[in-house]
Every structure is written in structure tokens, then in C-alpha cells.
Amino acid sequence: MDDTERRDAQELAGSPNWLLLIHQLPPKPDYLRVKVRRRLKGIGAVALKNTVYALHNTNEAVEDFSWVAREIESEGGSAMICEARFLEGITDEEIGAMLDAERSEGDETTQRGPPERVDPNRTWVTREGVFVDRMASAWLIRRFIDPGARFKFVPARGYSPKSGELRFDMFKAEYTHEGERCTFQTLVHRFGLSESALRAIGEIVHDIDCKDEQFGRPETPGVMRLLRGIADSTPRDSERIERGSALFDDLYASFNKTRG
């Protein structure tokens, strides 16, 4: 938080910590969804739900959200701005970490250094009850990053990682959502995995996990239905990973065959 934001926060002492923009977009024009998403990204807001975005509660944030709300309303949508405190479901620390990650992500075109590497046979930790992003990320890790990876499933909160463990798709994880990327896309990006088939799978996983229809690939509804079936019929996380991995193996092969 810079000096201006601190002064604003002092002026608003005693007010709720967060400012929310809650909006609904009309089905047309098609470009509006992308325009609004880019505008919100530009001001550093983070999505708590598909149509709920958060910022620190400052005067500058009120002005930024007001401009976005006017743009939405000018195109026939609706928008509300409100102050909020959260009692359940998410903590102030989690929202703050999301905003910090959004700020540090910066320009999407900025190039990182050399691709990351990890020592083999690591223990990779994630939240129990694995679903789309965690199932896909586990497949990616074991197939392309750490073939000897072992997976550990823990509660969403309160877990202290042991030495040498790597966390993914959970609070304070080494690998999780960054900017608009889901965890699968973050792993692809940070480990320098450039195959078009992996990018395509990342787009499918992103749209299912983030529920924002950013890429709109035709395969997405079918993959979602299959993953939902695995989750509904498979209570054990380790079995979900194995069944999901078989699905992603087939999807990866299909994209490579199409490209060839």
C-alpha cells in the first residue's frame, strides 16, 4: 500500500477493510466481458467470485470502481459498490495476499528469468477435496515437472508445511493463482512448458475453475462434465488424481493429434 492509500485508509479508519464491486453484464455485446475484466485488472482488483471484485477500502478505490460501474451501466449492465467485512469463507489475509499477487504480477508481457526446476521426488501438498485445477495441476506436475511426485492432501487452512514440501493451489502456496492465471497455467508459465497442447488444456481448466468464460473453448463443457463425474463418484483424493490423470493424458494426446 503506497502513501496515498495509507492516508486514505486513515481517513476511513473504522470503516470495513474492503470495497466490493458487484456487477451483472448483459449478454451482448460480446466484447464487454473482456473489456470489463481488463479494466478491473488494470486497477488491481481481484475476483472473489465471477462477478464480485475487491479492493482495499480507500478513496482511490471508490473512484476506480465508480468509473468501472459507469462503463458497465453505459452498456446496459448493472453494478453496485459496497463496503464489506468478511466473517466466513475467506480471511482478510487471503484477500490481502491476492491483491499483493495481482500487484506484483504487473504487466503480463514481462518475461521471467529461466524456467524453474525442482529437485525430483518431492512431496506436493494441496487442499483436500481436489477438483478441476488441483486434478489438472497434479497431472501436469507428475508428467512434466516431477515424475516421482508424491501428493499430500490437507485442510484448506491451518497446515504448516514440512521442510521440502511444495504447496499448490492453496493459501500461501508456492504455486497458485497469479493474476488471471489459474494454478495449472501458473505452473506451465513458471516451468517454461510451451507446448500448444498444454496451453489449450490450461484454457479449459481456467474457464472451468475461474468460471469466467475467458477462452470459450468448445471442449470445456464436456471436460467439466467428466471431471464432475469423477469427483461425484470418487471420494478419495488419490483416486481422483489417478482418474483425472487418465482423462488429461487422453486430452493431451487428442490435442497433439489434432496439431499433427
Antiparallel, parallel or unpaired: β 52-56 and 166-167: unpaired
75 secondary structure, DSSP code: T
As a whole number, mean pLDDT of residues 86-94 equals 88
Nearest to 116 by CA among 173, 188, 168, 166: 188
Confidence of residue 16 (pLDDT cuts 50, 70, 90): confident
Does 4 have pLDDT greater than 90?
A: no
Q: Which domains does the chain have, with CATH numbers?
A: 3-105 (3.30.70.240), 123-259 (no CATH)
SS3 222: helix
Higher pLDDT, residue 10 or 244: 244
Does 115 have pLDDT greater than 80?
A: yes
As a whole number, mean pLDDT of residues 198-226 equals 91
Interval 157-181: pLDDT, tens? 889 999 999 999 998 899 998 877 8
Write phi, then psi, for 5 (nearest 5 degrees). -65, -40
Q: How far apart are CA 158 and CA 236, in angstroms?
A: 21
Contact 170/239 with Cβ under 8 angstroms?
A: no
Q: For 24-33, 88-97, 161-170, which range has the lowest pLDDT when averaged over its residues? A: 24-33
As a whole number, mean pLDDT of residues 40-54 equals 90
Taken as a whole, the chain contains a residue count of 260
Question: Which range among 60-69, 100-109, 209-218 has the greatest average pLDDT?
Answer: 60-69
User: Could you tell me the three cell numbers for 184?
Assistant: 495449472
Does 74 have pLDDT greater than 80?
A: yes
Does 7 have pLDDT greater than 50?
A: no
Higher pLDDT, residue 243 or 213: 243
Q: Cell 507446448, residue?
A: 195
Confidence of residue 3 (pLDDT cuts 50, 70, 90): very low
* Average pLDDT taken over every residue of the chain: 88
Q: Give percent above pLDDT 70 in the chain.
A: 89
As a whole number, mean pLDDT of residues 83-92 equals 89
Does 101 have pLDDT greater than 60?
A: yes
Confidence of residue 10 (pLDDT cuts 50, 70, 90): very low
Confidence of residue 136 (pLDDT cuts 50, 70, 90): very high
Q: How far apart are CA 155 and CA 186, in angstroms?
A: 22
Confidence of residue 106 (pLDDT cuts 50, 70, 90): low
Does 89 have pLDDT greater than 80?
A: yes
Distances (CA, A) of 61 to 43, 44, 72, 91, 105: 8, 10, 16, 20, 19
Interval 29-38: pLDDT, tens? 777 887 888 7
